[in-house]
Amino acid sequence: MPTVISSGSLVGSVYHLTVDTRGRVLVTTSAGVVVVDPATGGQSVLASAADLGGAPYGIASAPGGGVYVTLIRPGRILRLDPDTGAPSTVASGGLLDSPLGLAVGQDGQLYVAESWLPLRGSIVRVDPTSGAQYFIATSGEFAYPFDIAVSNGVVYTLQTGFLDNRGGCIEETRLSDGTSVHSGVSTHCRSKGIAIAGDGTIAYSDCIPVNIACSTLVTGRSPGGEVLTGMGGPLGVVPDDATRARPSTWGRLKSIYR
């Protein structure tokens, strides 16, 4: 069963989250980047929206301890000092118009769910050292992607727009050729969050719809098929060298998978 580790106050509305190599939960909110201690539930602001120049959305932690966030309009990727929260710009403008979800690939590159360019969305790769931007893919299957995960040469994106009167399905895009197809991970098409563990296990949150309305929130894993009902929202997994798993759901951080 899930266990609540922290709620309310600074994490009343979580956009995205990541777990860093120290086992800390880092979440983006309208207030900025908030750190949650999973042992005590304590909350503190690592970097305020004012410090960052706007409210952050996507967030990802790198194996070396670096923390990256996206800001939209104008599109930017910032690197945060993991101790002080001091920001520095990795990349801005160019292919980054309205970047949302952010992931660190196994190659150390940053992968961005760009929600506007061209037209309905694209996947952009950014070199975290040079800031160079590379267009990876766009597709008629994209409808404003907002979350992203990368594993074994495949990019998973969640679409927030509507496709054929459906909500945001999960799409799979091969890095080798940019081809995108609907994912079989979840077919409910009201996706809210996705994260992939080091062993390839995919955690996803979704919603079972009635017509086009959300009915029952779910969080599941693939492979394995376990599904928890009544839960949905952004998800995170623990790095291989960290010790605590703390996914999140709708403003309350919970430990779902251990």
DSSP 132-179: -EEEEE--TT-SSEEEEEEETTEEEEEE-S-BTTB---EEEEETTT--
Residue 138 structural domain: 3-255
Residue 3 token pair: 């266990």
What mean pLDDT is reported for the chain? 86
Radius of gyration for the chain, computed over Cα atoms and rounded to the nearest angstrom: 17
Per DSSP, the chain holds a count of helices (H) and strands (E) of: 1, 23
Give the pLDDT band (50/70/90) at residue 227. confident
Residue 203: name the closest of 181, 188, 225 by CA: 225
Could you tell me what percent of the chain has a pLDDT over 90? 52
Which helix or strand (DSSP H or E) is residue 102 part of? strand 99-104
What local confidence, expressed as pLDDT, does residue 97 receive? 93
Work out the average pLDDT over 90-101: 95
**pLDDT of 15 above 80:** yes
What local confidence, expressed as pLDDT, does residue 244 receive? 44
d(CA 21, CA 8): 24
**pLDDT of 36 above 50:** yes
**pLDDT of 250 above 60:** no
Per the structure, the count of domains in the chain is 1
Q: Best-predicted range by mean pLDDT among 122-131, 178-187, 220-229?
A: 122-131
> 99 versus 184: which is more confidently predicted?
99
- Residue 119 phi, psi (nearest 5): 70, -80
What local confidence, expressed as pLDDT, does residue 159 receive? 86
User: pTM of the entire structure?
Assistant: 0.90
What pLDDT digit, counting tens, does each position of 124-140 carry? 999 999 999 999 999 88
- Residue 51 phi, psi (nearest 5): -60, -35
Residue 110: name the closest of 97, 128, 98, 88 by CA: 128
**pLDDT of 146 above 80:** yes
Ranking 59-63, 123-127, 218-222 by mean pLDDT, the lowest is 218-222
* Amino acid type, 194: I
Q: At 225, which CATH number?
A: 2.120.10.30
